[in-house]
Amino acid sequence: MTVFSKNLKRLRIAKNLTQEQAAEALGISTQTVSRWECNTTLPDVTILPKIAALYCVTIDDLYKETSVAYANYAQRLCSVFENSHKPEDFLRADVEYKKLLKSGEHTTEDLRSYGFLYQKMMQVCIKKAEEIFNQAIQQGPAEAPEAYWATQRQKIYFLSQIGRNQECIEKFLPLVEADSIELQEWICLIQAYFFAKDYDTAWKWIKKAEEKFPESAMLHIYAGDVLRATKHYDKAFPHWERALEMEPDWTAAAWSMACCYEELGNYAKAYEIYNQIAGNLKIQGFEAEVDLPRARANKCRERISQ
């Protein structure tokens, strides 16, 4: 007998299936299963995925001497992704777990391993995101300064989400303390402190930056955001309004205003601004980006009618 035929029998027994039950699940005759296991005939390659899924292994496992039957196919695919780190393997496992949960036949171990699948994918995504951000930053600001600094700010936000704020502070603090003439380096430092929720220090550097860069709309946006975070709402709005006066097409200030109004329970004003943002984005041709402010506007409208 070949390894393949031995595996078919061993895996079937491990799953507590008779030849009749396996045949019924595969839509074939019991005699066909018997012939496979006796190595009299081989299954067509088109049915191999179905056999592998029935015995909760991969197709490759059918040819391995050390193959083990997992509790279910989802758990086996999870182990495949754990080793490969390939997004396509994650998606395959995710599909199987969704089927398992929908059937209602899942166990606590299935839920644990499903959570582990997403945890592992998160780690893969974090590593990949950092690699891509670094690749963009390494190209420098010369050719595309706006994209370069947007990437720097995006990376700061990204690192703050995984608890690595201090890295960003340590990167930009020496530059700013050396009295950098690059506004964006000041912005990055302020953003790093903001995401670290060190609002007092963020505010200190905002005030210093305003002396050096008095015509920066972005500084006014961060000033408003810091004041909002510290609940000085009445002082926040003038900064956002000033930013919009300086850069009418920017949505960041308008978005902060709308969110603040919503936070304060002024849903009518928030509804108005969200709609303005959606309208401006549509005019600029950003059709996909329109959906979010419209959804927020609709949420505010619902709150108004309640």
- Asked if residue 205 lies in contact with residue 172, where contact means CB atoms within 8 angstroms, the answer is no
- Asked if residue 157 lies in contact with residue 191, where contact means CB atoms within 8 angstroms, the answer is yes
DSSP state of 105: -
Model confidence at 3, pLDDT cuts 50, 70, 90, reads confident
Q: Looking at residue 148, what is its pLDDT?
A: 97
Residue 83: burial class (beta carbons within 10 Å; 0-12, 13-18, 19+): exposed
**Kindly report the CA angle at 207 between 233 and 273, in degrees rounded to 5?**
35
pLDDT tens-place string over residues 30-42: 999 999 988 889 8
pLDDT tens-place string over residues 285-300: 888 889 999 999 999 9
Which domains does the chain carry? 1-69 (1.10.260.40), 73-138 (no CATH), 141-212 (1.25.40), 215-306 (1.25.40.10)
The pTM for the full model equals 0.79
Mean predicted confidence (pLDDT) in 274-279: 94
Q: Looking at residue 246, what is its pLDDT?
A: 94
Q: Looking at residue 218, what is its pLDDT?
A: 95
pLDDT tens-place string over residues 215-262: 999 999 999 999 999 999 999 999 999 999 999 888 999 999 999 999
Residue 1 has pLDDT above 70, yes or no: no
Helix %, strand %, coil % for the chain, to 5? 75, 0, 25
pLDDT tens-place string over residues 69-79: 778 889 989 99
Residue 24 has phi, psi (to 5 degrees) of -65, -40
- Asked if residue 102 lies in contact with residue 114, where contact means CB atoms within 8 angstroms, the answer is no
pLDDT tens-place string over residues 181-212: 999 999 999 999 999 999 999 999 999 999 99
- Tokens (6 digits) for 75: 């758990």
pLDDT tens-place string over residues 139-175: 999 999 999 999 999 999 999 999 999 999 999 999 9
pLDDT tens-place string over residues 111-136: 999 999 999 999 999 999 999 999 99
Q: Looking at residue 59, what is its pLDDT?
A: 85
